[in-house]
Amino acid sequence: MLDTRLYLLQRISALIMAPLVLLHLGVMIVAIQGGLDSAEILSRTQGSLFWGGAYGLFVIAVSIHAAIGIRVVMFEWLSIQGIRLNLVSWLIFTVLLMMGARAVYAVVAL
Amino acid sequence: MAKNTGLNNLQESTDFLEVGIWRGDSSGGRLVTYQVPQQPSQTILDVVTWIQREQDPGLSYRFACRVGMCGSCAMMVNRIPRWTCRTHVQKVVQDNHLTIEPLRNLPVIKDLACDMSEFFAKWKQAEGQFKPRKAREDPIEQLLPDTPKRAAANAAIECINCAICYAACDVVSWNPAYLGPAALNRAWSLLNDERDSGQQSRLRAVASDAGCHNCHSHQNCAAYCPNELNPTASIAGLKRMASMAVIRGKL
């Protein structure tokens, strides 16, 4: 159900997520100090390779991390196994990735 | 709960224990209550033995050494897995009452005797057998006791295969294929044994779908191990070892 590769993928994705969460929270706290509306935020993020890369990487890491985590819960608590377990895990990964990619596009696209 | 007093009008006496024993087989069972006289330094195994000898010869249970070496007398005592020969009644009795049931996570044969086949099959599946590197005619290998590998092997080596950790493990209850703490702890001790030749295939066995990566580190195994081993730490070692092997392309 959870082999070494999936185990490593979940740990590595967590290692990627942790500093990006801190970066996001830090910027949010600093950015709103002088008052900031959504138009001003978008003016800074739109067309930014840095923010596109950071949030894009975060979305990929979240999709991998959450899909593997939910895979374990589905196996242990709902007894979903075999091909069904793989299919549902891939589905969760794909849905999270698409939703996240759409959000990143909305923030970064010109 | 059905009553099987054997001795009448003793329920109120504090000189008697009220003991609920699980009676049944693989098709199901129930708790039957017995009145057992209290004795100084009485163990749970003493209680079960007294019931079988004095009240109900049909009661099935398993024991051998009675001194905490063989690992055959483990049972659930008040819902906690314990070695019954070394568990004093006074330390676990609650309001003069004891509940004794067969080990969790294992199929019941009859009453308090479990079928240990799957437990030992997993021990083999994790390649818990020692595979020597040298033959009989080779000189005896020198082992230094203070190397990190030997220290790790020694820390895990005193397992008596009582299956208490297996009964305590929630992951086993959720995932019947999971190898479990005892088998993985054994594999860890061998993976740190420099005399052993089966490292690569053993690491592959413990890093499989049913292997070490399924452990959630709840540490129930370490909390209830009667020999105070820490299978969770052994499993964490296996996770590190398997991860490094994958990163280096050796698994």
Q: What is the pLDDT of residues B89-132, one digit of tens each?
A: 999 999 999 999 999 999 999 999 999 999 999 999 999 999 99
Between CA B234 and CA B240 the distance in angstroms is 10
Task: Chain A: give the shortest CA distance to residue B34, in Å.
Answer: 37
B235 touches chain A (CB under 8 A): no
Under the banding of pLDDT at 50, 70 and 90, the label for residue A31 is confident
Domain ranges in chain A? 4-18+36-108
Residue B209 to residue A2, Cβ atoms within 8 A: yes
Decide if pLDDT at B142 tops 90: no
Averaged pLDDT of chain B: 93
A4·B209 Cβ contact <8 A: no
* B174 interface with A at CB cutoff 8 Å: yes
Q: How confident is the model at residue A36 (pLDDT cuts 50, 70, 90)?
A: confident
Domains for chain B: give ranges and CATH numbers. Answer: 2-114 (3.10.20.30), 117-247 (1.10.1060.10)
Which residue, among B241, B196, B245, B210, has the nearest Cα to B126 in the 3D structure?
Answer: B210
Q: How far apart are CA A71 and CA A90, in angstroms?
A: 9
User: Which chain A residues contact residue B171 at CB under 8 A?
Assistant: 76
Contact yes or no for B187/B238 (Cβ under 8 A): yes
Please say whether the beta carbons of B32 and B1 come within 8 A: yes
Interface test with A, best of B208, B213, B216, B250 (most A CBs within 10 A): B213
Q: What is the pLDDT of residue B14?
A: 58
Among the listed residues A15, A30, A1, A26, the one whose alpha carbon sits nearest the alpha carbon of residue A64: A15
**How many alpha carbons fall within 13 Å on the CB side of residue A43?**
6
* Set of chain A residues whose Cβ sits within 8 Å of the Cβ of B210: 1
Q: Reduce the DSSP state of residue B193 to 3 states and report it.
A: coil
Give me the residue label for tokens 């019941």.
Answer: B108
Q: Is the pLDDT of residue B8 over 90?
A: no
Q: B188 vs chain A: nearest CA distance in angstroms? A: 16
CB contact under 8 A, A11 and B243: yes
B199-242: pLDDT as tens digits: 999 999 999 999 999 999 999 999 999 999 999 999 999 999 99
Question: Where residue A37 falls among pLDDT bands split at 50, 70, 90?
Answer: confident
Q: Convert the pLDDT of each residue in A59-78 to its tens digit.
A: 999 999 999 999 999 999 99
What is the rounded average pLDDT of the residues B70-87? 98
| Cα–Cα distance list, B51 to B48, B73, B164 (Å) | 5, 15, 23
Which chain A residue lies closest to B178 (C-alpha atoms)?
Answer: A1
A2 at B interface, C-beta within 8 A: yes
Which chain A residues are within 8 Å of B209, Cβ to Cβ?
A: 1-3
Residue environment code for A11-37, b if the CB has 16+ CB neighbours within 10 A, otherwise e: eebeebbeebeeeeeeeeeeeeeeeee
DSSP strand pairing (B16-25 vs B97-101): parallel
pLDDT in tens, B48-63: 999 999 999 999 999 9
Nearest to A75 among B175, B239, B243 (CB): B175
CB atoms closer than 10 angstroms to residue B69 = 12
Residue appearing with tokens 């019947």: B176
Q: With CB atoms and an 8 Å threshold, state whether B242 touches A77.
A: no
Q: Which residues of A touch B211 (CB under 8 A)?
A: 3
Contacts of A77 in chain B (CB under 8 A): 174
Question: What's the rounded Cα separation, in Å, for the pair B154 and B148?
Answer: 10
Contact assignment for A3 to B247 by CB distance below 8 Å: no
Would you list the DSSP string of A32-93?
Answer: TTT---HHHHHHHHTT-HHHHHHHHHHHHHHHHHHHHHHHHHHHHHH---HHHHHHHHHHHH
> What is the CB-side half-sphere exposure of residue A93 using CA atoms within 13 A?
17
Q: Give yes or no for B55 touching A (CB within 8 A).
A: no
Q: Which residue has the tokens 């909390």?
A: B223
Mutate to test the interface with B, among A2, A4, A86 (most CBs of B within 10 A): A4
pLDDT at position B23, please?
Answer: 98
Give the residue carrying structure tokens 């676990």: B92
